[in-house]
Amino acid sequence: MAVRRRAGLLAFVSTATTVAAMVHAGPSGAASTVQLMNPPIDGTNCYYANTWMAPRSGTRRHEGVDIIAKAGTELYAPMSGRVVRSQGSLAGNQVKIVAADGTYFIYAHLSAYADATAPHGATVAAGTVIGYVGKTGDTTVNHLHFEVHPSGGKAVDPTPVVAAVNTCGAKVAQRAVANPSPWANVTTTTVSKTATTVARPATTAPTTTTVATTVATTTTTVAPTTVAPTTTSAPTTAPPTTAPPTTAAPTTGPSTSAPTTPSTDQKKTGGGPRTFNPAVVALQLDSQISANRTIGVKVVGFPGISPSAKTVTLSVTLTGAADGQAAIWPCGQKAGLASGTALDPVVKDTAVSSKVTLAPGDRGRVCLVSSVKTTVRVAVSAVG
């Protein structure tokens, strides 16, 4: 399934490909009978929308949910089950988790398998790392294609299933459920006609390019011819007649106006790269982390936050399942709960906020760990 980017997730569904089989009728309501014990992906920084039954190449439809995330993001078993690995031209590296009642879940496009924790044929517990996000197979974007097959039957809409465990955060989950797939009732015939119509406007493009070339040539030829003679005559007359008055005028001009104009421009533009103004909050993340499990949060490169920022000021809000400690540090450094920058103590069932300024680490990320199970919210309030 070729997913271009999360902003265009729905726009490209007519040309993408999928791991799913031929179109079939499957009641999306059946998905409610499947309850995950664990989200299928590390929800630190991911996104998805409902594309159930979206048209794909040929006569196929999308039978999963595409969760966009960076390469290497951990993938987890949604419930206990047997690990079955396979590879294919569409799915790339694939893992199937088969539960005791026959229900199975498909994970496609993995960059790598988790050999140490989930070897082929092993039975794993819910929450076990089974692989990592990638873009193997027929796709160009790092993401997880996730399918749900209750009791070993046909696929059902997995969007409400992953939303029920707040995959990628409660806000993403609520938005995905509130916006059901517009493709569920679209026929293959209608999609094929639409795809053909969209391709035709491309024929007009060469005509526009030719016109633009002609205009540019005409303008270039006329401009040099007119200006050159005028400039040559002016200096010839000026020196014999008005030499003394002309000398006084340039002296006054540079002394008064030259220093003033650059100073004003420097305040508007020159200071920009050196002094960063406080940025609007551009990243809010709601997710839950297990005790003593380090997560990475990307804090630069978002709209309003320069990728070249040297420091970031973060508001970190933690709500613990019990009392504990937490720490934060630039990813890539050897740090942890004992050696990272300490945050305010975690308090059971109470939101505690800490403000901290530090340099973003590897790939613009900061790492965070808590000694107890904790709900986390990270907001970027300023950069420098």
Q: Same CATH fold, 284-383 and 6-198?
A: no
> To 10 degrees, the CA torsion angle through 308, 313, 315, 316?
70
**How much is the pLDDT for 380?**
76
User: pLDDT tens digits for 88-142?
Assistant: 988 999 999 999 999 999 999 999 999 999 999 999 999 999 999 999 998 999 9
User: pLDDT tens digits for 54-83?
Assistant: 887 778 889 999 999 999 999 999 999 999
User: pLDDT tens digits for 190-203?
Assistant: 333 344 444 444 44
**How much is the pLDDT for 57?**
73
User: pLDDT tens digits for 150-184?
Assistant: 999 999 999 999 999 999 999 999 998 898 888 87
**How much is the pLDDT for 309?**
76
User: pLDDT tens digits for 304-344?
Assistant: 566 777 888 888 888 888 999 999 999 888 888 888 899 99
Structure tokens at 275: 């002094």
Could you tell me the fold of the domain covering 6-198? Glucose Permease (Domain IIA) (2.70.70)
Q: What is the mean pLDDT of residues 236-241?
A: 45
The CATH code that applies to domain 284-383 is 2.60.120.380
User: pLDDT tens digits for 193-233?
Assistant: 344 444 444 444 444 444 444 434 444 444 444 444 444 44
Q: Which helix (H) or strand (E) holds 279?
A: none
**How much is the pLDDT for 54?**
87
**How much is the pLDDT for 166?**
94
For the chain, give every domain's residue range: 6-198, 284-383
**How much is the pLDDT for 217?**
40
What DSSP character marks residue 276? P
**How much is the pLDDT for 82?**
97
**How much is the pLDDT for 286?**
53
User: pLDDT tens digits for 11-20?
Assistant: 433 333 333 3
- Average pLDDT of the chain to the nearest whole number: 73
Least confident of 33-42, 136-145, 258-267: 258-267
**How much is the pLDDT for 303?**
52
Q: What is the CA radius of gyration of the chain?
A: 30
**How much is the pLDDT for 381?**
67
**How much is the pLDDT for 171?**
92
**How much is the pLDDT for 221?**
40
Least confident of 84-98, 281-295, 338-352: 281-295
